[in-house]
Structure 1
Amino acid sequence: MRIPEFLKENGTIGFVAPSYGCNIEPYKSAFDHAQDILKQRGYRLLSGPNCYEGKGIGISNEPKLCGAELNDFFAKKDVDVILSCGGGELMCEVLDHVAFEQIASEEPKWYMGFSDNTNMTFLLTTLCDTASVYGPCAPAFGMEPWYASVEDAMLLLEGKKHIFTGYPKWEKESKKDEEHPLEPYYLTQDRILVKVPDQDSKMRGRILGGCLDCLGKLVGTGYDKVKEFNQKYAKDGIIWYFEACDLNVMDIRRTLWQLDHAGWFEQAKGFLVGRPLCFGEELFGLNQYDAVTGVLSKYHVPIIMDLDIGHIPPMMPMINGVLADVTVQENDIQIAYQF
C-alpha cells in the first residue's frame, strides 16, 4: 500500500471539485473562509478551475473537465495534498475521464473528501493501491471555531495524529445556512454505540469503505477490483466501514445484499457503520440496524453501528487502505492507524 507523504510546514494544499463546486451559499463563504484559515496556518493554496463552478449536472462542471482537473492536480509537483470542495450526485460520470493508471505511476498524494468522493477515495485505494482519507470537504475548514473532528482531519494530513476516537455528541439539526455559513456543528445528541454482538471487541485489518450510495453503483463495472484487492491483502483482512446519504433502510439492505453477493466481504474482519441520514426511520418493520445485521451477521465478526462516520457530524477521518487496530470498549471506539 502506497502511503503518501504528510503535509509539511509551508506545504501546498490543492482544491478540486470533481463533485459539487462551491458556487452557492453557505458553501462559497465557508470555502472562502477555510482558505483564509489555512493560509494563517502557514499553507500555500492552489484552487482548480472548477472550485466555484456549478455548470454540471450533479457535479461542478462537465465530466471531462472534472476529470482533467483531477489528473492535473495529481500530476502537479507543487501540490502536496488534495481536498475536494464538496460531495454531490454524479461523480461516477467523471471516472471515465480519470487517468488512474497515470495516478498510480506518480508519487502518491493524500486525497480527502466524503460522500460522492467515495468514487475517488475508494478507487484510489483499490485501483491505485494508494491510501486515501474519507473525511471532511474543504468548506468544513471554514467553520468558526473548528470542532475536534475537523482539527483531527488536519492533524492527520499533517502527520501529527494517527489514533482517533469517537466524539461525545452528534448533530441532529444543523444551524448552518445561507445566512450563517461559518456556523459550527450544533451537537445535542449523545453518542450511543450499537454493538452486535453486544460486547466489547478488538479487530485488526485494512480499513476500506465509503458511502453506500456510491459503492453499490461500482459493483460489476470495470472499476470493481475488490476481489483482487481482497486477495492481495487476504493476510491482513478488511475492516469495512459504511454510511448512507440518500438511501432508506430498504435501500441500505439491498445495497449490502448486492455487495455481499459480489464477494466484497470475503475477507471481512469487522464492520463499522456510521449513522445514516435516514436515522430513526423504519419501513415495514425494518430499522437501520436490522438492515445491516440481516445481511452481515452471517460473517460472525463484530458489527459496530451509529459511529461518527459520514454525513451526520462529527466524523472521524477514515483512512482507506491502511492497516489499523480497532478497539471498541463500552461506548467508545479507538482506531489506531499503522503507517
Structure 2
Amino acid sequence: MIKRPDYIKPGCSIGITAPSFGPSSEPYRSMYFLAKKKLEERDYKIIEGETLFKNDGIGINTDPKVAAAELMDFYKRSDVDAIISAGGGELMNETITNVDFESLKSAKPKWYLGYSDNTNFIFPLVTIAGVQGIYGPCISGFAKKWELPEEDAVSLLEGTKTEFSGYGQFVNPFTKQEENSEKQEEPVDYSTYNFDVPYEYNSEKVLTSFICESGRAVKADANTEIQMSGILLGGCVDVLANLVGTRFDNMKEFNKKYKDIIWVLEACDLTPMSYRRAIWNMREAGWFDNAKGFVIGRPLTAFNKEMMGADHYNAVTDVVGELGAPIIMDADVGHIDPMIPVVMGAEANVTARGNELEIKYL
C-alpha cells in the first residue's frame, strides 16, 4: 500500500523550504513571518531552509540543484517531522530533475504540504516513492485569519479529522477584478498591512456533476447522488500534462498495481483550449485507464471562459466522458479559494449530491 506518514502534534518540527517560489519579496515575506508566528503559537518548531530568502534563480528562488538538495535533506532529516512548501511557482520541474524519488522509498515517510507547482514533487512522491502527500496551502496560506480551510489542512497533518466537506461560498477572482478596477490603485505598505483577515467570499458555490454513459457525459440533476471509491491522485493539470512521458511518469506501473483511482484535478494558467489539450494528453498516455471518477476544481484562468466553443466544462467532459466514470466539477480544490486540502495517495470515499461534496478517508 501507499505509505501514510506519521501524524505530527504540537512540539514537532516543521521544515519550510523553497523548491520553487519563496518569500523573498513582498507581500510573501510579510505573509511568511505571520504564518510562522501562527504555527509557533500552536507550539510547532519552525526550521527554515536557506532557500527561503534567496533570489538568485530564474523562475524559482534559487538554483534548482540547490533547491533539490535542501528538499532531499529536509525530507531525510530526523529533526524535521513534516515539510510545508514555501510557495507555488513556475519551474519546480527543474528542481525535481535533481530529486531521487527512488531513494525516498527507503526514507522514513513524512508529510509534505503544498499545491500548484508542488505537484511536481507530490505526484511522483505518490506514484514513484509510494508515499502520501497533502495537496493544500503553502506556508503563506496560513498568514490569513484561520477559518475552516486552514484548520482542515492542519487537521490532516495532525490526523484529527477524516471527513471533509466542501465550503458553501468561494472567492470569484473575476468579480474581485471588476470591483478593484473601479478603485484607484495605491502603493501598499506591507509593514502595516493586515493579512489576518478572513476570505472575502463573493459567490455561492455550485457543483456541476456529470454521469457518463454510452460514451458521453450527461449533467446530473440536483437530486442525483454520485459516489466513488478509490485512491485520490492528481494535482495541477498544468504540471501533470508536462510530466507525461518523462522519467517522472510512472503511471503505467502505478495503474498495474492500483485499479481504482479518483483523479483530483485543477488548473492554473491554462485557457479552455490548452486545458482541453492537457486533459487529452493525459488520457492518451493511459493515465486515466483505471479512473473510477473525477473531482475537478475551479480552474483559475479558464473559469467561465469560452474559446471557439471550448469551455472549462467540456475541456474535461468531452475528453473523459467516454471512460464511463462520474465527474464532479467546480469543487473546492485548487487556485480559487477556498480549497479542501486533499491527501494524494490515500484511499477515500467521495460523495456528491447537489452542491454538497464529502471526502471520507478510509
Q: Please classify the TM superposition score into its range, dividing by the shorter chain length.
A: over 0.9
Which residue of the other structure, out of 210, 227, 241, is the alignment partner of 1:196?
210
Q: Does 1:325 align with 2:325?
A: no
> Structure 1: how far apart are the matches of 2:148 and 2:112?
20
Pairwise CA RMSD of aligned residues?
A: 1.3
* 1:118-157 deviations in Å (ceiling 9; x for gaps): 00111100010000000000011111x2121011000110
User: Could you tell me how far apart the structure 2 residues matched to 1:105 and 1:308 are?
Assistant: 34
The 5 A counterparts of 1:170-185 are: 170-173=170-173, 179-185=193-199
Deviation at 1:180, TM superposition (A): 4.6
8 Å CA contact 1:207, 1:322 repeated in 2: yes
Picking from 202, 209, 231, the partner of 2:234 is: 209
Indicate yes or no: 2:128 matched with 1:104. no
AA aligned opposite 2:68: G
- Which protein is bigger by CA-based radius of gyration? 2
Q: Among residues 290, 300, 316, which one is paired with 2:340 in the alignment? A: 316
Q: 1:248 aligns with which of 249, 257, 271?
A: 271
**Structure 2: how far apart are the matches of 1:117 and 1:182?**
25
**Counterpart of 1:229?**
254
- Give 1:162-173 correspondences, 5 Å limit: 162-173=162-173
**Separation in 2, partners of 1:182, 1:85:** 18
Structure 2 counterpart of 1:249, one-letter code: P
* TM-score for both structures, normalised by structure 1: 0.96
Shift of 1:8: 2.2
**Contact between 1:30 and 1:182, CA under 8 Å: does it hold in 2?**
no
Q: Equivalent residue of 2:319, what SS? A: helix
- Displacement after TM superposition at 1:330 (Å): 2.0
Letter in 2 for 1:217: N
Deviations 1:98-118 (A, max 9, x none): 121222211000001000000
Alpha-carbon distance in 2 for matches of 1:54, 1:115: 20
Match of 1:263 in 2: 286
User: Are 2:99 and 1:134 aligned?
Assistant: no
Secondary structure, aligned partner of 1:216:
helix
* Amino acid across the alignment from 1:233: Y
- 1:23 aligned partner: 24
Partner residue in 2 for 1:156: 156
- Identical amino acids, percent of aligned pairs: 44
Unpaired runs of at least 5, structure 2: 181-187, 212-219
Distance 2:198 2:115 in 1: 18
- Provide the C-alpha distance between the structure 1 equivalents of 2:194 and 2:26, rounded to a whole number of angstroms: 9
In 2, Cα distance between equivalents of 1:50 and 1:21? 8
Paired residue total: 334
After TM superposition, the score normalised by the length of structure 2 is 0.90
User: In structure 2, how many angstroms separate the alpha carbons of the residues matched to 1:230 and 1:297?
Assistant: 19
SS for the counterpart of 1:97 is coil
The runs of 5 or more residues in structure 1 that have no matched partner are none
Contact kept in structure 1, 2:348 and 2:361, CA below 8 Å:
yes
Contact 2:10 2:42 in 1 (8 A): no
